[in-house]
């Protein structure tokens, strides 16, 4: 049969485990890493707390909150407005019949494209003057850009390190 492998000497085992100095250095590094991770978790829990953020930077906090509410309000308003304007298939068919059209002669995709183009044309007519629409789009874009600026400033203030000394700004 086979031979039994000889046991390793204590010296070989010490080489495999590493020196005592290396082990001490590793344990010190592990302790330092654990302390840093604990500090980071503490700072994250402090920085995420909305009450603390509102106390520390009220203008940025409420500006961001107002921006989020404004964006959500615009989104909901545009959805409601587009839903009210949308025409059903039967309404479009009634418009076509009133104008003397023969929609039943059109087949499949052609009928669908015709309805979509008619829906688009009616939407353009009902949307009102272009100048008024352009004004509102410009105002909305300005508000969104202002909200973005406030959010960026808020984010930069949140991520700024409080413990570093201020540079000569």
149 belongs to a structural domain: yes
* CA distances for 46 relative to 2, 32, 63, 169, angstroms: 65, 21, 20, 27
What pTM did the predictor assign?
A: 0.36
The tokens for 147 are 């909200």
Residue range 77-122, pLDDT digits in tens: 877 776 665 666 677 667 776 666 666 666 778 777 877 887 777 7
Question: Within this chain, do residues 154 and 88 fall inside the same structural domain, yes or no?
Answer: yes
Whether residues 148 and 73 share a domain: the answer is yes
Rounded Cα distance between 112 and 109, Å, is 5
Residue 38 sits in the same domain as residue 104: no
**Matching residue, tokens 């001490």:** 24
The runs of H, that is alpha helices, within the chain are 10-17, 20-48, 50-56, 58-85, 89-98, 108-126, 130-159
Q: Which two structure tokens, joined as six digits, stand for 9?
A: 């000497």
Separation CA 121–CA 100 (nearest Å) = 17
**63 shares its domain with 42:** no
Does the pLDDT value for residue 147 go beyond 60?
yes
Domain co-membership, 77 together with 143: yes
Kindly tell me if the per-residue pLDDT of 24 is higher than 70. yes
**Are 66 and 42 members of one domain?**
no
List, in sequence order, every beta strand (DSSP E) within the chain. none
Classify residue 6: in a domain, yes or no. Answer: no
User: By C-alpha distance, which of 47, 68, 69 is closest to 151?
Assistant: 68
Any domain includes 1:
no
- Any domain includes 4: no
| Overall domain count for the chain | 2
Please answer whether residues 64 and 155 qualify as being in contact, where contact means their C-beta atoms are separated by less than 8 angstroms: no
Domain housing 43: 18-48
């Amino acid at each position: 049969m086979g031979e039994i492998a000889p046991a390793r000497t204590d010296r070989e085992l010490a080489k495999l485990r590493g020196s005592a100095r290396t082990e001490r250095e590793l344990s010190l590094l592990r302790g330092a890493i654990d302390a840093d991770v604990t500090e980071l978790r503490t700072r994250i829990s402090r920085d995420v707390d909305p009450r603390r953020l509102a106390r520390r930077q009220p203008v940025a906090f409420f500006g961001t909150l107002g921006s989020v509410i404004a964006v959500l309000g615009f989104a909901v308003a545009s959805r409601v407005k587009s839903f009210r304007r949308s025409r059903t298939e039967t309404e479009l068919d009634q418009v076509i019949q009133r104008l003397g059209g023969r929609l039943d002669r059109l087949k499949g995709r052609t009928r669908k494209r015709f309805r979509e183009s008619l829906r688009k044309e009616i939407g353009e007519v009902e949307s009102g003057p272009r100048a008024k629409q352009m004004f509102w789009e410009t105002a909305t874009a300005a508000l969104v850009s202002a909200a973005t600026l406030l959010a960026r400033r808020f984010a930069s203030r949140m991520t700024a390190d409080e413990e570093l000394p201020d540079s000569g700004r």
